[in-house]
Structure formats: structure tokens, C-alpha cells
Amino acid sequence: MIVDPTSADPREIAKLLTSVVLPRPIAFVSTLSLEGVPNLAPFSYFTVASSTPPVLCFAPIVRRDGTKKDTLLNIEATREFVVNIVSEDIAAKMNVCSGEYPPDVNEFAVSGLTPVASDLVKAPRVRESHVNMECRLLQIVEVSSKPGGGSLVLGEVVRFHVDGDILKGDTVDPGKLRAVGRMGGATYARTTDRFDLERPK
């Protein structure tokens, strides 16, 4: 099969992309509006962009009606956010936060997750998450303003919070973190089935 994205339905292209680029890690992003309303939403277009300095990137997608997501609006206004890692034990509550809510709705309250104060940014962290990364905005790159388009948000991690119970030496034990990844549609993946490959010398 050959697909020409210039002539295909954009929604079909989105389905194709999210069914082949997988599993995708989830950035569970918490922000605070200028009015002081907490926001919490998951994004599966997410990865590491740099380790020196530590930089994360994720891409909020433009809604079908052409509007920006509350997360992006809050980051544009405050220039800070927190990325919380999603483990199996909070996956269902994360999914609750994936709904479309008005800007004045606090997703912490809707999902039953607990906000806790961050050290360096005003946005709260998710207490139930085993890893929280406080970030300050470096740059927003608008890729497309069309519905289904996106903006790449780059944020420098200024503070890590890691649950000591999931550490193995100076790294996180994936068997204890039990992170989940996003597949296509409503399907998610566990990170329990792993294998090793040594890189060539």
C-alpha cells in the first residue's frame, strides 16, 4: 500500500501515524493558568531532546475546531510546566484527564489525583506519579496551525523528583516504575516484556 498524505484524509493519516509510531511514552503534563487553575493532560507525542542540559519535548495537537489545548495556552502564558511519568497504577486516572474539559475545570479534582507543590515552578506535580520533572520553557515551534497540526514544546528540566523505592543504583528500575506507553486508538502497552541488545563496539 502507498499513501499520499497530500490527498488523504488528515484523520486517516493521524490513525496511520499513531498505529506505526509506537509504543509512545506519555508526558502527563501539569500546568497552571494565569488565573491559578491547575490543568493536567496526557500527551503521547513525547520524548527526550537533550541530556546536557536535560530537555524534554512534547507536541500538543490543535483541536478539530482549530483551537489550542489548555496545556499549550498555559505554557505560553507562564513558560513552565511539569512532566509526570504514567505508571500502570495511575493509568486509568490519566485516561480520565484525556477528556476535553473547559479551561476552568481542574483535572486533578476530576481524576482524583493529588496536586503537590513543586520546588521551582508554580505548576503542581502529581503526587501519585513516581517521577516528576519540573520544566521551564525553552522554545515552542509551531509545526502547523491546522486542525490536527501541532506545536513542539521544548522545556529544560530544572528539578527531578524520583521515588526512591523505584531506584536501582543511580537509575530507575523499569520493573518497579511500570511505565505505560500509548499504542493506536484506545490501546496502551506495558513495559514488562523487555530484551537486551548490546551496541556494537
Cell readout for 151 is 506545536
Q: Give the per-residue pLDDT at 10.
A: 87
Quote the mean pLDDT of the chain. Answer: 96
Residue 32 in 3-state DSSP? strand
150 CB burial (10 A radius; 0-12, 13-18, 19+): buried
Q: Is the model's pTM score more than 0.85? A: yes
Which residues does the chain have with pLDDT short of 50?
Answer: none
Q: Give the per-residue pLDDT at 76.
A: 98
The CATH architecture one would assign to domain 21-190 is Roll (2.30)
Sequence ranges of the domains in the chain? 21-190
Find out whether the peptide bond into 42 is cis, omega within 30 degrees of 0.
Answer: no
- pLDDT tens per residue across span 155-190: 999 999 999 999 999 899 999 999 999 998 999 999
Q: Give the per-residue pLDDT at 176.
A: 96
- pLDDT tens per residue across span 70-91: 999 999 999 999 999 999 999 9
